[in-house]
Amino acid sequence: INPSVDLFDAIEQLKKEKNAIILAHYYQEPDIQDIADYIGDSLGLAQQAAKTQADIIVFAGVHFMAETAKILNPAKKVLLPDLKAGCSLADSAPTEAFKAFKAQHPNHVVISYINCTAEIKALSDIICTSGNAEKIIESLPPDTPILFAPDKNLGAYLNKKTGRNMLLWNGACQVHEIFSVEKISRLKMRHPEAKVLAHPECEEPVLALADYIGSTTQLLKYSHTDTAQAYIVATETGILHQMQKDNPGKTFIPAPPNNNCACNDCPYMKLNTVEKLYNTLLYELPEIEMEESLRLAAKKPLDRMLEISK
């Protein structure tokens, strides 16, 4: 990249020239969030992807999110700045193993969390996100046998919340499993005024400490409308940028991981950079491509989710 290029101006220019839109998740680095046309949680991003009029979608997020955009927009070019931006949760459900698990429970309705590959989506009946999961589950009669994949922590939380007894696939997110209950409890003692906000991908003992549990958008909304002045935030650190921007007077403390790593940063989300975003827009690469039969099979449960979430 020519060092004299102002990347922010150049990205704006390319967006206009190419009728491109940048969709970004809250876990992206602050500069990417600031340059995005839309920032949101997985549900909001899927809804935006479904209705955009742009010719090119640049997805500043991870692979399953860009795949979702492609499933909904076969005629559009969907770009992901770094194809290695995967997801440990999506990786925890390999296709063949999941197919075998599903075959053992043929009478179960399969609800899959959107954090999964297109192949897993194609094997599912309905998709959900953390923002709409309860609504999706409640759309089924109470005695419906349900298989929930791939996040066991979200699944266990939903079982408790809805009183269902869904069969859970044994998957998890490496970022949300890293928080230390002991360290959060000690932080709470030092900041007794602070409320704990947690994402439902966290393990049960962390959720038990939370004052409020929700998707990234829901956590953001809660921190805005609630009257507390300080919050301990148990999810990926990227969300703190919007929380701080929306609430300049409030204090937001990232919940500490159980060792001294920076593992409450998602290594996949953080692969995207402004430089890569610029190159992606300029060269229109790397592009998400998908076989049509897989796309159509994965679209069915996604459409069902979007219909229920209207």
Which residues would be at the binding site for ligand SF4 (CB under 6 A)? 27, 62, 87-89, 115, 173-175, 236, 266, 268-269
Question: Residue length, the chain?
Answer: 310
Q: For residues 305 and 296, give the distance between their C-alpha atoms in angstroms, rounded to a whole number.
A: 15
Q: Given candidates 81, 131, 254, 256, which one binds ligand 13P under the rule CB under 6 A?
A: 131
Instruction: Assess contact for 33 and 56: CB atoms under 8 A.
Output: no
Q: Which of ligand SF4, ligand 13P, none interacts with 130 (beta carbon under 5 to 8 A by kind)?
A: ligand 13P
Residues 41/130, Cβ–Cβ less than 8 Å: yes
For 153-174, the DSSP string reads HHHHHHHHHH----EE--B--T
Between 86 and 145, whose beta carbon lies closer to ligand SF4?
Answer: 86
Alpha-carbon span 29 to 35, nearest angstrom = 10
CB 107 within 8 A of CB 143: no
Which residue lies nearer to ligand 13P by CB, 56 or 89? 89
215 near ligand 13P (CB under 6 A): yes
Annotated binding residue 25: yes
Give whichever of 116 and 122 is closer to ligand SF4, judged by the CB atom: 116
Give min distance, CB of 200 to ligand SF4, in A.
11
Task: Give min distance, CB of 215 to ligand 13P, in A.
Answer: 3
**In the chain, what is the greatest distance between 2 CA atoms, to the nearest angstrom?**
63
Q: With respect to ligand 13P, which residue has the nearer C-beta, 73 or 215?
A: 215
| Pairwise CA distance, residues 116 & 104, whole Å | 20
Which of the choices ligand 13P, ligand SF4, none does residue 216 contact, using the CB cut-off of 5 to 8 A by kind? Answer: ligand 13P
Cβ–Cβ < 8 Å for 172, 153: yes
Give the number of residues in contact with ligand 13P, rule: CB under 6 A.
Answer: 12
Rg of the chain, C-alpha, whole Å: 19
Nearest to 243 by CA among 229, 273, 223, 259: 223
For ligand 13P, give the closer residue by CB, 279 or 309.
309
Map the footprint of ligand 13P across residues 50-69, applying CB under 6 A: none
Can you read off the two tokens belonging to residue 221?
A: 């909304």
Strand partners, 62: none
> Is residue 60 within a helix (H) or strand (E), and if so which, with residue range?
strand 56-60
Say whether residue 73 binds ligand 13P (CB under 6 A). no
Residue 266 annotated as binding? yes
Site string for ligand 13P, 89-118 (x = CB under 6 A): --------------------------x---
Element (H, E) at 56: strand 56-60
In one-letter notation, the amino acid at residue 297 is A
Stretch that binds ligand 13P, among 36-44, 72-80, 101-109, 157-165 (CB under 6 A): 36-44
Binding residues: 25, 42, 87, 113-115, 130, 173, 199-201, 216, 266
Q: Write out the binding residues for iminosuccinate.
A: 25, 42, 113-115, 130, 199-201, 216
Per the annotation, binding residues for [4Fe-4S] cluster are 87, 173, 266
Residues that bind ligand 13P (CB under 6 A): 41-43, 115, 129-131, 173, 199, 201, 215-216
